[in-house]
Structure 1
Amino acid sequence: MASLTPSCCLFLLCTWLGVSLVCPQITYETYYFDQKIDHFGFYEDSTFKQRYLVCDSHWKTPNGPILFYTGNEGDITLFSNNTGFMWDVAEELRAMLVFAEHRYYGESMPFGNLSYSEPKYLNYLTSEQALADFAVLIRFFKESGDAKHSPVIAIGGSYGGMLAAWLRMKYPHVVVGALAASAPVWQFENLVPCNLYYQIVTNDFKKSGAGCAESVTKSWAAINRMGETDDGIKWLSLAFHLCSPLKGKEDVTAMKSWLIETWVNLAMVDYPYPASFLEPLPAWPIKEVCKHLRNPKLEDKALLQNIFEAINVYYNYTGDTSCLNISQNAVGSLGDLGWSYQACTEMVMPVCADGVTDMFEPQTWDFDSYSDDCYKLWGVRPRKSWITSQYGGRNISAASNILFSNGDLDPWSAGGVKQSLSDSLVAILISDGAHHLDLRSNNAYDPKSVIQARALEVAYMKKWIKQYGEQSHVQGV
């Protein structure tokens, strides 16, 4: 196994400071590594090129620490450019940065253009195979002279955070510790109430403006009433500036799902400064949205016109979008196709709504219906208890050296570890924190809570690095 000749890239990681925009230059090199398509069987013996990015400008050689980002559902450059925390601490820790792309995303396609063509090619898109990729890649680094005794720390956010935690659990000899940011490792089976996810979204809207959550609550019935007639459906298409007109009640249902996803994503990226992780957005975007949703008692058309103005903050803050496409995933920059398959196999994460403690229409969790939809879409059926069987569910006390960070604005914190389980399985709570805020760059508008969280995370990393060095010295390495 060998890497190919790297190609150099230059990106700008930008931080808003008042009215000026400071963009320190960040450079990395791109490599490709020959990975086995199947780590757990022997019949499929072919390989694919896994992409990974490396920055070693601050690395202490030999045997300086390596911060290893466990790539998740998207192009790895997206995560390298939105994980400013790693770039911010590289010099202090004198660390090499490695961003490893998850198989079936970005350029890391096991079967090239055929990878998504039929289920037999997708069979190797699993978290287990991805973790094995990371473990093998880290071994490749450790086999080189300058990194032979380097302590490696896994870092990831969201699904990547889950992978970071699981990498430490499954391969503790490969990484000395893990930072699992906004990692919903307990959003499976019945480990947490399925309605907690939507309750957190609702609370974000409630605290961001009077009448805001209530307006969203009222909007569902208004959409339903408009969807009863052809004229009403036509009006919805025009009022929401849809790229393709709604053609019937099924399209109206699809539109409501698209709106739900929009409200959820706003909660995920409710950052205290302008950011463009999912879409270009202003600071505290939910507050901007709620400026349009102050009166939940309006008549249907007036209320829905305000709903359009509100979602336009998410989809058209720059003013460059001429129409809205409800068939496009609201997480436009992520690999929604691959994640759809993963959600239909092992990543079964129940969510539900009751319409009372949240601002959504009642929505029960129906696994059988979910399974049928997956079979129609992908030709596979999900295994709802596999993740808890594979990674332990709540029974993870045997693990060590994992930090679980969660922000209280983040809906995915519903499935996060929010109480420390031991001295080395540590929960870090971030008030006024959205989705993995702590992994983003230092910013003048950061709340005190995230500044403290990052300082604690660095302190633990230094502790792990020191412990590794002491153990290596004792063992005569």
Structure 2
Amino acid sequence: MSLFSKILIYLISLILLLLLNIIEVESTDQKYSLETRYIEVPLDHFAATSSPKFFKLRYLINSKYHVRGGPVFVYTGNNGDISIFAQNTGFMFDIAPVFNALLVFIEHRYYGQSLPFGNASFSSPENLRYLSSTQALADFAFVIDYLTRSFYENVITHDTHPVVAFGGSYGGMLSAWLRMKYPYSVVGAISSSAPMFYFPGMTSCDLFYDKVTQVFEKFGRDQCVKTIKLGWDVIINLSKTKLGMDFISTTWKLCGRLKGPEDTETLLNWLGKIYVNIALTNYHYPTDLYTPLPAYPVKVFCDKLTTSYFNDTKGLIEHFGHALEVYTNYTGKRVCNNINSTNDDYTEFAYDYQQCTELTMPKCSTDADMFMTKPWDFEKYSMDCYKKFGVRALPPQWSQVTYGGKNLKYYSNIVFSNGMMDPYSCGGVTGNMSATVWAFNISDAPHHIDLRNSDVADNNYVLGARSFHIQAIKQWLNMA
């Protein structure tokens, strides 16, 4: 990028910030108000049958800023209730008045209220087999086709519907894949923090935990990483006796007491997920994407873990328990901590199934990072999937065959943005792939921060990313 281009982006970002600050005068409740709608979509988009089955897919819509003929901004829902993503994707609301846009957030099947078989959706492999990214993409295209016929039938020619897709994380993958697989549906896609290349054989398995460690080193300092590394052996050794397990269970306020090695392994996995989620959501202001968190939760966690002295293993466990409450009980309302994944936790269960069947992202840890040293074993992973879901993981080449792997040069009109302090950036698209498939890297930024609402403390890197998105959208809509 030339110096002139950088200066131009910077100036545009300052103007945008002033504009967005004016827009923010309206109340948050008004700004994020959404109407809930449902649409009947095919259970299986790819099977011809004499009696096709349908189910109700939820989508949310905001027409506050829409002017007849204006574009539609569609968020491709990912692994969770769509209302959560709508409330955490303020960028779309911020720019809607600029473009006179209609805002639509489409829920991913099997998440939130879009359950094909109701409460029985997760009861068997047979009912789960319609949960896939390919079916979800067809859902999105189906809804978009309905919306464009409803809003643009008499407004604009049928081959130029101004629909732009947005998505973050897995939703970012879906927004890009929607443009790649259904280019008729959307003119372009903003794909934030999308681990497009995070598949077996495409990204080294050790990079993810290495990036998490870098986040803790940068914001929590070296002593925090050393203490976390020390903690694994302390937990394992203490868990070898009933007294030790009881002490951890009580100190960490676990909902169920540890009873043996399997429970200890579950505890260790739970702890690792917390470290990852804190790193992913290390925003410079309080958030509630996964759970209520303070600003810079990595720093707050590490400060609680390392600022006072402990002289034995039990003291260390007490320090960990106190620090963990930054993530587990920041509001003080949680009675106990459930470390187990249960069938009642549909969101986690559904995404675990998807990771087994198509979204396998290899993770391994080494002596160089702050996690327990653990290799990646695809065969073991596949066997674990079979034990839990009755299905085996798809072969490693699935993503290459289905979505083209790293060969993106034949596609068009996609912006891939990545925060360089986002662990998933290790599998992201961080370089331009063609004349219209661009990458924008955001220094020092966590997970899809550019899709969040504007904040007075946003740095120039984040502002530059949003300005880049706006210019790309204008180009796609022939407004540039």
Same fold by TM (over 0.5)?
A: yes
Which residue of structure 2 lines up, in the alignment, with residue 321 of structure 1?
334
> For residue 94 of structure 1, what is the aligned residue in structure 2?
100
Query: What is the alpha-carbon distance in structure 1 between the residues aligned to residue 260 and residue 270 of structure 2?
Result: 16
Amino acid of the structure 1 residue aligned with 2:115:
M
Aligned counterparts of 1:324 and 1:111: Cα–Cα separation in 2? 30
Q: Which residue of 1 aligns with 2:131?
A: 125
Q: Which of 220, 223, 226 is the equivalent residue of 1:209?
A: 220
Query: Judging changes above 3 Å, is the alpha-carbon distance between structure 1 residues 345 and 145 closer, same or farther for their aligned structure 2 residues?
Result: closer
Is the counterpart of residue 243 in structure 1 residue 250 in structure 2? no
Q: Distance in 1 between matches of 2:199 and 2:252?
A: 35
How far does the alpha carbon of each residue in 1:431-465 deviate from its partner, in whole angstroms, 9 at most, with x for none?
A: 22111111110011222211111111111101100
Aligned pairs for 1:266-345 (under 5 A) are: 266-294=278-306, 298-327=311-340, 335-345=347-357
Query: What is the deviation of 1:293?
Result: 2.7
Partner of 1:188: 199
Aligned to 2:54: 47
The residue that corresponds to 1:10 in the other structure is none
After superposition, give the CA deviation of every residue in 1:228-276 in whole Å (9 maximum; x if it has no partner): 2221111111221212111112111111100000000000100000111
Q: CA deviation at 1:145?
A: 5.0
Q: Is the partner of 1:451 in helix, strand or coil?
A: helix
Q: Which residue of 2 aligns with 1:137?
A: 143
Match of 1:428 among 428, 440, 454: 440
Aligned AA (1:418): T
What does residue 244 of structure 2 align with?
A: 232
Q: Which residue does 2:120 correspond to in 1?
A: 114
Structure 2 portions without partners, runs of 5+: 1-19
| 1:178 corresponding residue in structure 2 | 189
Find the partner of 1:361 among 372, 383, 393: 372
Q: Determine the structure 1 residue equivalent to 2:408.
A: 396
Are 1:289 and 1:311, in contact at CA under 8 Å, matched by a contact in 2? Answer: yes
Further displaced range: 51-60 or 83-92: 51-60
- Give the C-alpha shift of residue 106 in structure 1: 1.2
1:385 maps to 2:390? no
Residue deviations 1:38-88, cap 9 Å, x none?
111113611111111111121121x31110110111111111111111011
Identity %: 43
Q: Supply the AA of the counterpart residue of 1:200.
A: K
Of 431-440 and 319-328, more deviation after overlay is shown by 319-328
1:156 corresponds in structure 2 to: 167
TM-score w.r.t. length of structure 2: 0.89
Q: 2:418 aligns with which of 399, 406, 411?
A: 406
Letter of the 2:93 partner, please give it. Answer: W
Matched, 1:66 2:45: no
Q: Does 1:465 align with 2:471?
A: no
Runs of 4+ that moved beyond 4 A = 295-298
Q: Secondary structure at the match of 2:477?
A: helix
Deviation of 1:93 after TM superposition, in Å, equals 1.0
- The letter of the residue matching 1:318 is T
Query: Could you tell me which amino acid in structure 1 is paired with residue 61 of structure 2?
Result: V
- Paired amino acid for 1:399: Y
Any conservation in 1 of the 2:111–2:346 contact (CA below 8 Å)? no
In the alignment, the residues of structure 2 paired with residue 283 and residue 67 of structure 1 have an alpha-carbon distance, to the nearest angstrom, of: 29
Q: In the aligned structure 1, how far is the partner of 2:440 from the partner of 2:383?
A: 38
Correspondence 1:168 to 2:179 = yes
Distance 2:386 2:473 in 1: 43
The structural deviation recorded for 1:321 is: 2.0
Aligned to 1:375: 386
Letter in structure 2 aligned against 1:315: T
Deviates more, 1:194-203 or 1:145-154: 145-154
**Correspondence for 2:4:** none
Q: 225, 232, 256: which one pairs with 2:268? A: 256
Given residue 100 of structure 1, which amino acid in structure 2 is its aligned partner?
Answer: I
Change (3 A) 1:288 1:333: farther
Q: Is the 8 A contact 1:278 1:333 kept in 2?
A: no
1:166-196 CA-partner distances (Å, limit 9, x unpaired): 0001111111100111100110012111111
Taking the aligned partners of 1:21 and 1:173, their CA distance within structure 2 comes to 35
- From the superposition, tell whether residues 333 and 267 of structure 1 become closer, same or farther in structure 2 (CA, over 3 Å): farther
Distance 1:451 1:145, change over 3 A: closer
Matches of 2:431 and 2:206 in 1, distance apart? 20
* One-letter amino acid matched to 1:407: G
Contact 2:341 2:348 in 1 (8 A): no
Contact 2:419 2:441 survives alignment (8 Å): yes
The one-letter code sitting in structure 2 at the alignment partner of 1:233 is M
| Pair 1:21–1:267, CA change in 2 (3 A) | farther
* Structure 1 segments unaligned to the other structure (5+ residues): 1-14, 470-477
What is the identity, as a one-letter code, of the residue corresponding to 2:55?
A: F
Distance in 2, matches of 1:283 and 1:298, equals 30
Amino acid at match of 2:237: R
Specify the SS of the correspondent of 1:207.
helix
Which structure has greater helix proportion? 2
Q: In 2 relative to 1, CA 334–125 (structure 1 residues): closer, same or farther, beyond 3 Å?
A: closer
Q: Which moved further from structure 2: 146-155 or 457-466?
A: 146-155
